[in-house]
Structure 1
Amino acid sequence: MKLHRLQQLETYIKKQGSVSLEQLCQHFDVSKNTIRRDIQTLEARRVVKKVYGGVVANSEDAPIPLSQRQLTMKSEKAAIAAKAAEFVRDGDIIALDAGSTTVHIVEYLKTKHRVTLITNSIPAITAAAGNDQLHVIVTGGDLLHTTNSLVGQDAIAMLKRLNAHTAFIAATSVSLEKGITNSSLIETDIKKAMMEISSRRMLLVDHSKFDTVSLVKFAELREFDALITDAPPPSEYRLYCEKYGVQEVVADASQPQVSSLPIKK
């Protein structure tokens, strides 16, 4: 319950920019003591800054460690990953970035055969180690501890030598005005490289990411072939997707189901 509230609180503050403690108490229907404790937690993560009488979003937008991100929206992220895995065919080559949602895809590839997995995610590599049907290609590079991923020019150079059928990409924030953004500058180069080498690009984000903005833009929503999320996005996003031919795929967090929807070629 607290983790869910913290995620909602973070999203709300980022959207508002600045907000008073009174407003937060009223919006979330909790006491000032509860809000103060939550703010203290978010401040420790460098997500927000306390000011007199309230709080502001941290303009530095420091990345939240992967270990913390994996604790939020767990069922939603698992459902999104399960839905994404339904679009992986036997013999496919897929690129998987180091997001806390995309890493779950590996768990749902057990019924697939002869799949090649290209990734810079240490947790994904570990999860794939027990599946002998997966051919795993590791990007190499420097270890980024906050995301437990491999980054840098060596990783990008390795990616540019390869080709993939589908890239599964996560993001910190999604905005029609500001585009698809991420909180880590160094990670965005990896995401861009994975998109460039792939014939299809799928964006995986839970519903809390919409109408939020993070540090650095790495793509526009229209650059993706599909958007996979856990709840119907706001109407303006649906209209945007229709206009640019981005397929919407909504996963059921209570019971992930097999998708019968064709993916755009």
Structure 2
Amino acid sequence: MKNSFRQTEILEIARRVGKVTVEGLSEHFDVTVQTIRRDLTELDEAGHLNRVHGGAILASGTTNLAYDARRSHLADQKAAIARACAAAIPDDCSVFLNIGTSTEAVATELLRHKNILVITNNMNVANTLSSNPDCEVVVTGGSVRRSDGGLIGTMTVEAIRSFKFDYAVIGCSAIDEDGDVLDYDIQEVGVSQAIIAQARAPLLVADHSKLLRTAPARICSLANIQAVFTDQALPDQLQDACQRWSTQVHVAEIAGDPLSDLPGKLARTAGKL
């Protein structure tokens, strides 16, 4: 296999699972570890990956991935997380769904819910749930962010503060090792903070790649979240912190994951739903 083809596939694997290991890739491609190390070094120098001990992670920065790239990134994992989150939301309640591809996946899983009120600042969420006759959809005002159909700004925050909802489902761009929930867009952070303040039960949906990234703006701490829905077990230190904060952690099962045989991949554990 030529370097360019192998490196393209390495990058695709990294986008799907967040982190790649030298030994795992060596076995996957049936090449030497020295060959993989060269590939990872070249990808690091090109700015696509960041080299870490034993492998590499997705490169982080001050801007998020494009919307289409985020939508396809870890799609199976997001779907499983969304199913777990939606299962925790009962019929006959009010829910806020924030901007993000993970929250859009939750909207799809709410299509069969009965007698629910969904408030959202996400035009894609509103379009999805408009096909559920048992769901009343309220869209906040605000400035439309053309890149992803999100509504942000002062008008959005003011509209959110006029509600008190039972549940709020938010996403994020990154989760720091100390439990801080982070994002790239400062305006979106203000909206997320308003949502959390108006929710009786704030829920976070975040795949494991968010633990491998960083972002400059702080939304809140996981201590302010009632439950986290993810696809892999949190690091022990962060899991212990969530227990101290009484923040529930639910780990969704991913059926038929084609990369589950890669050595070095984090083990999944099934959470109680």
| TM-score, scaled relative to structure 1 | 0.78
Aligned residue in 2 for 1:224: 225
CA RMSD, 1 decimal:
3.0
In structure 1, give the amino acid aligned to 2:108. Answer: E
Supply the distance in 2 between the matched residues of 1:181 and 1:126 (Cα, whole angstroms): 27
> Distance in 2 between the 1:80 and 1:105 partners?
8
Q: Is the 8 A contact 1:176 1:211 kept in 2?
A: no
Mapped to 2, the partners of 1:176 and 1:34 lie a distance apart of 25
Offset, 1:107: 1.2
Report the Cα offset of residue 63 of structure 1.
Answer: 2.4
1:158 matched to 2:167? The reply is no
Gaps of 5+ in 1: 13-24, 49-55
Q: Are residues 1:3 and 2:3 paired?
A: no
Would you say the 8 A contact 2:207–2:230 is kept in 1?
Answer: yes
Q: Is the 8 A contact 1:176 1:221 kept in 2?
A: no
Shift of 1:212: 3.2
Task: Give the match's secondary structure for 1:177.
Answer: coil
Of the three residues 30, 36, 57, the one matched with 1:29 is 36
Alpha carbons 1:6, 1:38 under 8 Å: kept: no
Q: Is the 8 A contact 2:17 2:74 kept in 1?
A: no
% same residue: 19
Instruction: State the shift of 1:184 in Å.
Output: 1.1
Shift of the 66–223 alpha-carbon distance from structure 1 to 2, 3 Å rule, reads same
**C-alpha distance in structure 2 between counterparts of 1:166 and 1:153, whole Å:** 22
* SS of match in other structure, 2:214: coil
1:27 shift after superposition: 9.4
The question of whether the paired residues in 1 share the 8 Å contact of 2:67 and 2:147 is answered with: yes
* Structure 2 residue identity aligned to 1:241: C
Matched, 1:192 2:201: no
Q: TM (normalized to structure 2)?
A: 0.76
Q: SS of the residue aligned with 1:140?
A: coil
Q: 1:211 to 1:58 in 2, by over 3 A?
A: closer
1:186-234 deviations in Å (ceiling 9; x for gaps): 1111111111110001111111111532010010111101111001111
2:145 counterpart residue number: 144
Q: Is the 8 A contact 1:86 1:259 kept in 2?
A: no
Cα distance change of structure 1 residues 33 and 211 upon mapping to structure 2, 3 Å threshold: closer
Aligned residue runs from structure 1 range 166-205, under 5 A: 166-177=167-178, 179-205=180-206
Residue 130, structure 1, aligned to residue 131, structure 2? yes
Partner of 2:112: 111
Shift of residue 3, structure 1, vs aligned partner: 2.9
Is 1:240 matched with 2:249?
A: no
Give the CA deviation at 1:100: 1.2
